[in-house]
Amino acid sequence: MALQTITQDALVESLFEIIRCHGYEGTTIALLSDITGLKKSSLYHRFPAGKDDMVKAVVLYVSAQLQQLIIAPLLERQVAPEERFSKMLVTVKAFYGGGNKNCLLNVLSLGEAKDDIKTLLKQDYAAWFAALSALAQDAVLTQTEAEVRAEQFLIAVQGALVVQRLTENPPTFDNCMAYAQKQFFKSSDG
């Protein structure tokens, strides 16, 4: 068997960084070729179904990352809820490059990606939401209140990413995350 010049994982990681930055329409095969070092025809060897195939691979990769690095730790019930949340925030900050990198969920739900891809994105959101809601319920809260907190947090994540990209003001995301943590665990509504 011939040697791969780049592993599939590293390749998908590269595609991910390009797509999250340029969006669906903004990502051209030529650009992918330039950055990965693989020629266009080679990319089609790895992903026979073309661009949508590449995007799908990226989404599945991100789903796995989300599950492994964010959701699973959120559900470790032997750890205190606050600590689980804190560890998630560390991961999240790194994942979004301190707010300087876009969220694939935002980027791809804007573009004209295929329906099955949008379904995957929706599932990713739902999984994260469910894990946060479960965590909030571990921390005393009722189910309905827990769901509100979970949604509010995810809204804060997406909103802070948009605002920081817009203003190019780096501390926005980190500040917002710190504030969101306080809100998530506060005892009652003010």
- Closer of 60 and 162 to its own copies (Cβ): 162
**Is there binding between residue 23 and its own copies (CB under 8 A)?**
yes
Question: Of the candidates 13, 14, 17, 31, which one interacts with DNA according to CB under 7 A?
Answer: 31
Task: Indicate which of DNA, its own copies, none lies near residue 115 (CB less than 5 to 8 Å, by partner kind).
Answer: none
Do 147 and 128 contact (CB within 8 A), yes or no? no
Do 56 and 117 contact (CB within 8 A), yes or no? yes
Q: What's the closest the beta carbon of residue 31 comes to DNA, in angstroms?
A: 7
DSSP letter assigned to residue 2: P
Q: Which amino acid is at 134?
A: A
Part in contact with its own copies (CB under 8 A); list of ranges 49-57, 59-67, 87-95, 100-108 = 100-108
Query: Among candidates 114, 115, 96, 68, which has minimal Cα distance to 158?
Result: 96
Q: Which residues from 33-72 bind DNA, rule CB under 7 A? A: 37-42, 44-46, 48, 50-52
**Is there binding between residue 143 and DNA (CB under 7 A)?**
no
Q: What's the closest the beta carbon of residue 15 comes to DNA, in angstroms?
A: 12
Q: What's the closest the beta carbon of residue 90 comes to its own copies, in angstroms?
A: 20
Task: Taking the CA atoms of 22, 26, 29 and 31 in sequence, report the sign of the dihedral they define.
Answer: negative
Part in contact with its own copies (CB under 8 A); list of ranges 41-49, 53-61, 77-85, 181-189 = 181-189
**Is there binding between residue 46 and its own copies (CB under 8 A)?**
no
Q: What's the closest the beta carbon of residue 2 comes to its own copies, in angstroms?
A: 35
Q: What is the dihedral of CA 172, 123, 104, 19, to 10 degrees?
A: 170
Which residues, at least 6 apart from 164, have a Cβ–Cβ distance to it below 8 Å? 99, 100, 170, 172, 173
Part in contact with its own copies (CB under 8 A); list of ranges 55-63, 80-88, 134-142, 151-159 = 151-159
DSSP letter assigned to residue 70: I
